[in-house]
Structures are given as structure tokens and as C-alpha cells.
Amino acid sequence: MRNEIPLEENLNSGHLACPGCGGSLSMRLALKALGKKTYLVLTACCWSIIDGPFPYSAVKLPLMHTAFETAGSASSGVRAALDILGKKDITVMAWAGDGGTFDIGIQALSGAAERNEDFIYSCYDNEAYMNTGIQRSSGTPWGAWTTTTPESKGEQKKKMMEIMAAHRIPYAATLSPAYPEDFIRKYKKAKSIKGTKFMHILSPCPPGWKTSSEQSMKLSRMAVESGVFPLYEVENGTKYTLNYPSADFKIKPINEYVSMQGRFRHLNKEQIKFMQENVTSEWQRLLRKLKYA
Amino acid sequence: MKEVTTGNHAVSYGAMLSRAQVIAAYPITPQTQIVELLSNFCATGKLKAKFIKVESEHSVMAASIGASLAGARAFTATSGQGLALMHEMIHWAANGRLPIVMADVNRSMAPGWSIWTDQNDTLSQRDTGWIQLYCESSQEVTDSIIQGFKIAENVYLPVMVILDAFVLSHTSEVIDLPDIKLVDKYLPPFKPKDKLDLKNPRAFGGLVTPDFNFELKYKMQEAMNKTIPVAKWADREFKRVIGRSYGIIEAYKCEKADTILVTSGTITSTSRYVINQLHAQGKKNVGILKIRMFRPFPAKEVVSVLGKAKKVAVIDRNIGYGVGGIFCQEVKAAFGNEKKHPEFFNFITGIGGRDVTPKDIQGIIDYTETHKKPKEEIVWVGLRK
């Protein structure tokens, strides 16, 4: 089998991510796929720290840090400048966490998507405000412990992919660093499409999920195989393509995925059963969309 | 070329003549006409710019910041609530040292809802590191936008060009639009010394530890110190190339004045009218100091004009709650280390779009002349009792 993962490295070693950070591996893969002609727009998130303090930077590309809620708008400005200056071959990639995407940044993201601005929006979703110390976001799953949901989160995770698909943007995809070939392929595809591209990456966070560092990739894979975070693509808001697991795959029970994580430790059997029912019904909903969309 | 235009369209012409390259804007009364005319310029090719119709003023400034950092000349306009919504990014633009120019149509802050003028929206932004220019006429608006880019791109601080809602924004007058060839001569294309660049990849705006941040703020202040000579130079150059000049302040008929009115914005024109009449009647002891540049505050220049007067009447179309008029506070502070200073009178008027008439100005002069000292810290003019 041919290795499709480029050898090019645009992320330096020596960055400030925690061991086992899904976000740092995801950035590494994304930059491999996009190559050197890329501008990065980074909003407040773990990556504001991971990149390193002034005068250091962990990426080998031009990078603009911007305010929390401005990934969509600041990238629109960068894109506009590049277009008017005739530098149309440079890719603009916005990079934000789940808080910066699902919550505070959703207005600017929605605005940019409605205008179909030509850039790639990457959301690395570690399912809480991890940079500030594990507070719930609307990307936090039902039942998870965080410092602001000390009992457990009582609300379901916001369906971000559906929100983005409803904008009828040309391309939206879910990605996992445990599936690097799929990851690279999707970024390359996103780069080849004009308009707004939304990349939703489930990104394990050892301190926030209360897991050990070496479990991150295993957890990433289990999230996909259990149907918690299936990998799929949506083109123009209507055309759904499922990547992993395949439609005939019998999704694995979530028990192991849940029991490995300290943030779900307090859940009893019935609560886990409730989670399982939700995951199963969402999986079935996705399969129906594949069929009818 | 002579053109009958409103203050708002004077803004649009200024941006067009400056060859703005990226305009991100959101419509807000009373700024809307600025955006409409610029949309038209972009649609008809009169201005080769990317116009991003963003979904909020916060995004306006974020997009302008992105565009400026990527190397384009960025322009926008807002007003009142919109400016307040931008506030976070207003800081970001200045601390990022990005030479963005923005017009603000002064609008009173809600509640109660108001679309009419006073200066509290822009004065709330005075400590953000933006240069502020307050305009008296549509001609000055167009010229200040062009000068604004010249100043901004030489000191790497953003510039706010400010005009009163309706009194100026929607009032038509004849202005002289400078020939674009002359403007090109005055304002060369934007070539930032630092920007996002593939050949020299760097990170901008990241985490700065206490080891460096203090010095960055010091450099902001240094840039502000540089702004006054740069603005004077930009104004002189404007005179040389285009034929008009404004100064950073303007002393009007102050030679023999022992009472000087301190004004800003359109109240200056009303005051000029009154002073001209008084001078025609042979009463030459009253003059005007118009403050055009409010940030950086031209303290030395203000003191050199006002220091010769016995009484100074500062007319504020704003209020710093708990203190008084904001221009008055700044004028007083300028005299902080001076041995001698005139008697200061602080008049507050015209808030929320209340008309300021020649009669009001005459009343201010009369009050100042008939009182040795002000009876109250703040004298409210035209207040309904």
C-alpha cells in the first residue's frame, strides 16, 4: 500500500501541547496536507498557547492570532486581502476549538459560511473549554463532568455538522487523527474546493477527558467505531458520504469508550444506557440521511 | 471637482480617493449611506476593492484587522452601538499596530434609543490607542480620511475620523473633491513593513509574557508621541499637493482674545458664525480653539493658544459621568504643570442630538464674560428644567 501521508513537516517539535494532545497531531496532519502556501488564523484556544509565546512559533507558516470569536471574520479579511493583492493560490485556514466554534464564534462562522468565503475552517473539538481548565461548552457531551458541570452535563452536544450543512457550504467533513489517511485526503479535497470548508475534528484531551496520554489514539478510534463520532462528508449541504465505519458495520457498544474516561466515571448503568440509545439513534439518523439525501 | 455631497458621502469619496483595498462594513444608522455609496463604487468598478458585507461590527473590525495584517489598505465606518460592539477589536487593531482608517458617525449611546449625535461613543474609545480626528465640515471629512491613511501608515496606529450624526452626516454642502492623481501623489500604495508573508513566516499577536509586553505598550506611546509631528507633516504635505490644510488644532481669531471657546465637530461652525458677528460689531475679545486631533492630545499646542487667555469656555458634546466634559478634563490636564492658567468654564450641550444654536453659543459667551468663576462645575446649556 502506498503511504499517502506527506513527509513534509510544517509543525516544529518543541511546541507546548500536553502529551497525547489530539489537537497538536491534528494540526500536524492538516499542515502536511495543505503545504507551505498556507496562512493560519488562530483564535483563542489551546493552540494560542501550544504555538509558543513571543518570539517563538511552532508552525513554519505565517500565523495570525486573533480574538476568540473571530475565526470566521478575521479569515474573511485575510482572504479578501489575498484576493485583491492577487495571491489567490494561498490557502487560508482558520483554526479554533469547540468553544470558539460552537459558542462564541458561531456568529462570525455562520456569517462567513453564508457569504461562502473561500477558506478552510478547522474546529478541533476536545469537548470543553480546555485552555481555561475544563469548563463545559456546547460541544461537551451529555453526562460529562467538567468544572462547571460538577454533577454532569445535562444537555446534549450541539449538532455542529448539521448547522454547517444547513448553510449549504460546498464541503463539511468530520475527521479523526486516528485515521490519518482519511484526514489528509479530506484536507487535500478541502483545499481543492472554492468556498467555505468546515472540518470537524474530534480531538482527545488527556487532562480534560481524564485519560492517560497514550490512550488518545485508541479513544479516537473507539469514538469512530462506536458511532459516537462517525467520519463522513457533506457536500453542498445535501450529499452525504460515510467513510468510517461503513454503513454495514455493526457499531461497537460505547461502554469501553465511556469507561476509559474519568469524565464519565460517575455515570451509572442506566445513564450509560441512555447515552447508548442516543448514539444509536443518531447513527441510524445518519444512515437514513445517506440513503435519502 | 466640485460636488454637492453629504458628510456621509464625503467619507465614501475619501475612502475611494485613498484607494482602500478591503472594506468590511455593516450598516448602522446614521452611517448607512457611507456603506451604500462604497458598495456602489465597488460594484461599478470605480473603486477596485473587496467589499465584505459582514454580519456584525465586531466582525467588521476583525475582518479589517485580517485584511490589514495580510497587507491590504483597510477601511471601514461605523457609529454608536456598532463602535461599542467593536470595542474588543478596536484594542486589537491598535495593539496590533495596524494602520486601519475608520469613520465614525457620532451617535448617542442607548438607552434610550437614539440615532442622534453626541461624542460619547468615540470618547469611550479614547484609550484604545487609536488616533482621533474630529471634523467640522464635509470637506474636512474627505480630506481627513486621506490624511488619516497618510498618518496611520507612517506611525502604524489606526485612525478614527469622526463626524456628527445628521448635523454633518446628512447635511449637503459643496465640496472640492481632490483629483485622484494628486491623491496618488500624496498617498503612495500601502507597503507595510510587517505582514503575513510566505517568504518570512512569522506569528503575529500571540502570547506575550511580562518579559516583553510592557515594552510593546511603551512603543505604542512612542508611536503616539511621533504622531503629532507626523500629523503636522501630513497636513503640510496635503497643503503642498492638494492645497488645503487644517492643522491639528485651529486657533480662530484668538490674537486679541481674552476669552476663548474650545470646540470640536460641527459646534465649531456655529461658534464661528457667532464670533464672526461679534468681530463685525467690533467685539474682538472672543476667539475659538478648535480641537481637531483629540488623540494624541496636542497638549503643548493647546496650552500655547489658551495660555494667553483669561477665560476658557470648553464646550463639550459629551459627558464623563462623575467628572464632567471630557474635552474640558483634557484641556485642564494639559495645564497641569503650568504655573499660570486661565479660568476654566465647562459647558455641556447638544447631547443626544439636541440642537446647539448661535443663541446657545452667545449664552455661553455671556455666562463666561459675566462670571469671574463658574458657579457650577458643569454648566448645562439648553437643559429642560
pLDDT digits (tens, 9 = 90+) for A67-125: 999 999 999 999 999 999 999 999 999 999 999 999 999 999 999 999 999 999 999 99
d(CA A134, CA A150): 11
Q: Do B204 and A90 touch (CB under 8 A)?
A: no
Supply the pLDDT for residue B333: 98
At B343-371, the pLDDT tens digits run 999 999 999 999 999 999 999 999 999 99
Task: Please enumerate residues of B whose Cβ is less than 8 A from a Cβ of A.
Answer: 21-22, 24, 48-50, 52-56, 58-60, 62-72, 74, 88-89, 92, 196-198, 201-209, 212
Of A51, A67, A80, the CB nearest to B206: A51
Supply the pLDDT for residue A247: 87
Band (A1; pLDDT cuts 50, 70, 90): low
Band (A293; pLDDT cuts 50, 70, 90): low
Of B67, B203, B208, the CB nearest to A80: B67
Q: Name the grid cell of B71.
A: 497587507
Of A175, A203, A169, which is closest to residue A188 (Cα–Cα)?
A: A175
For residue A80, give how far its alpha carbon lies from the nearest alpha carbon of chain B (Å).
Answer: 6
Of B48, B49, B66, the CB nearest to A78: B66
Q: Name the grid cell of B147.
A: 490624511
Chain A CB contacts of B27 below 8 Å: none
Chain B CB contacts of A39 below 8 Å: 70, 196
Q: How many CB pairs under 8 A join A and B?
A: 162
| Pairing mode of beta strands B2-6, B172-176 | antiparallel
| pLDDT (average), residues B233-252 | 98
Supply the pLDDT for residue A4: 82
Chain A CB contacts of B68 below 8 Å: 77, 81
Chain B CB contacts of A63 below 8 Å: 196, 201-204, 206
Q: What is the percent of chain B where pLDDT is above 70?
A: 100
Q: Do A80 and B207 touch (CB under 8 A)?
A: no
Of B72, B92, B204, the CB nearest to A81: B72
Q: What is the percent of chain A where pLDDT is above 90?
A: 96
| pLDDT (average), residues A19-28 | 98
Of A57, A61, A67, the CB nearest to B92: A67
For residue B14, give how far its alpha carbon lies from the nearest alpha carbon of chain A (Å).
Answer: 19
Q: Name the grid cell of B155.
A: 506611525
pLDDT at A181 exceeding the cut of 60: yes
Band (B385; pLDDT cuts 50, 70, 90): confident
Got the DSSP string for chain A?
----S-----B-SS--PPTT-HHHHHHHHHHHHH-SSEEEEEESSHHHHHT-STT--SBSS-EEEE-TT-HHHHHHHHHHHHHHTT-TT-EEEEEEEHIIIIITTHHHHHHHHHTT-SEEEEEEE-SSBTTTTSB--TTSPTT--BTTBSS---SPPP-HHHHHHHTT-SEEEEE-TT-HHHHHHHHHHHHHS-SEEEEEEE---HHHHT--GGGHHHHHHHHHHTTSS-EEEEETTTEEEEEES-TT--PPPSHHHHHT-GGGTT--HHHHHHHHHHHHHHHHHHHHHHHH-
Q: Do A80 and B50 touch (CB under 8 A)?
A: yes
Q: What is the percent of chain B where pLDDT is above 90?
A: 100
Band (A226; pLDDT cuts 50, 70, 90): very high
Chain B CB contacts of A110 below 8 Å: 55
At A205-218, the pLDDT tens digits run 999 999 999 999 99
d(CA B307, CA B22): 44
Supply the pLDDT for residue B174: 98
Supply the pLDDT for residue B136: 98
At A239-261, the pLDDT tens digits run 999 999 998 889 999 999 999 99
Chain B CB contacts of A59 below 8 Å: 201, 203
Band (A2; pLDDT cuts 50, 70, 90): low
Q: Do B208 and A54 touch (CB under 8 A)?
A: yes
pLDDT at B44 exceeding the cut of 70: yes
Closest chain A residue by Cα to residue B60 = A73
d(CA B42, CA B235): 28
Chain B CB contacts of A36 below 8 Å: 198
| pLDDT (average), residues B159-164 | 98
Model confidence, pTM: 0.97
| pLDDT (average), residues B289-306 | 98
Q: Do B70 and A78 touch (CB under 8 A)?
A: yes
Average pLDDT across chain B, whole number: 98
Q: Name the grid cell of A183.
A: 484526514
pLDDT at A3 exceeding the cut of 80: no
